[in-house]
Chains A and B, each alone.
Chain A
């Protein structure tokens, strides 16, 4: 398997523009997570899905952020309108899920580095 695939790897945009980040989880993984990483706050969970259904979106900062998972192999995180404080690395991760402890190890994608000017 190619692992968790994210795109774009880098995005530079201007304040007010819409940003869409994309993620393809590992095939067969039932759980998908979106994390944001900054120097000040570390890795913060934004939202996670189980079988394409959002389970916990309590970490989504505000209404400018939205996430979807239309099918088992694709998810998007959208920011509209973007602001400079959204600049961060956004990671997508997936896990198999299930009762076995090892099934809940997170595998991360390479991340999308977002810079909002």
Chain B
């Protein structure tokens, strides 16, 4: 059965800290991986990764995929209270358009 596991489940840091969130997967025929940020409402899209070793970057957030070791990480540098949210990763396999989501990492950034 295809599976996506995120760690840690939750994390509390102080403003200015750097955090690394992990997403590992066991799926047949990997196609792509998405990262989302979810505050109190709908998940909002952050990154899509399809190729190994290529870093995607947007401001203080960056992400990279390792297809050999079957994981992705999401880095947030110089964290701010506005980064407090649940971060979700989702994996799609070839031959389907559905995404399997991990249970998320709940990040709380303290002022």
A105 touching B42 in the complex, CB below 8 Å, given contacts A42-B104, A56-B96: no
The CA-CA distance from A9 to B110 in the complex, in Å, is 30
Task: Tell whether, in the assembled complex, residue B101 and residue A110 are in contact, meaning their CB atoms are under 8 Å apart.
Answer: no
Residue of B nearest to A48 (CB): B98
Q: How large is the interface on B (under 10, 10 to 19, 20 to 34, 35 or more residues)?
A: 20 to 34
- List chain B residues, Cβ under 8 A from A111: 41-42
Within 8 A of A (CB), among B81-105: 88, 90, 92, 96-104
Identify which of A63-71, A79-87, A94-102 touches chain B: A94-102
* Bound CA–CA A97/B41 (angstroms): 24
Is there contact, CB below 8 Å, between B34 and A42? no
Using CB atoms, name the residue of chain B closest to A31.
B97
**Interface check A43, CB cutoff 8 A:** yes
Please indicate the chain B residues that have their CB under 8 angstroms from the CB of A108 in the complex: 42-44
Chain A interface, >50% SS class? strand
Given A42-B104, A101-B50, A104-B92, answer yes or no on A55-B42 (Cβ-Cβ < 8 Å): no
Interface string of A31-59 (1 = CB under 8 A from B): 10101000001111100101000011000
Contact (Cβ within 8 A) A109 B34: no
Cα–Cα, bound, A109→B97 (Å): 18
B75 within 8 A of A: no
Q: Which residues of A are in contact with B by a Cβ distance under 8 Å?
A: 31, 33, 35, 41-45, 48, 50, 55-56, 91, 95, 97, 101-102, 104-111
Chain B residues near A (Cβ < 8 Å): 32, 34, 41-45, 48, 50, 88, 90, 92, 96-104
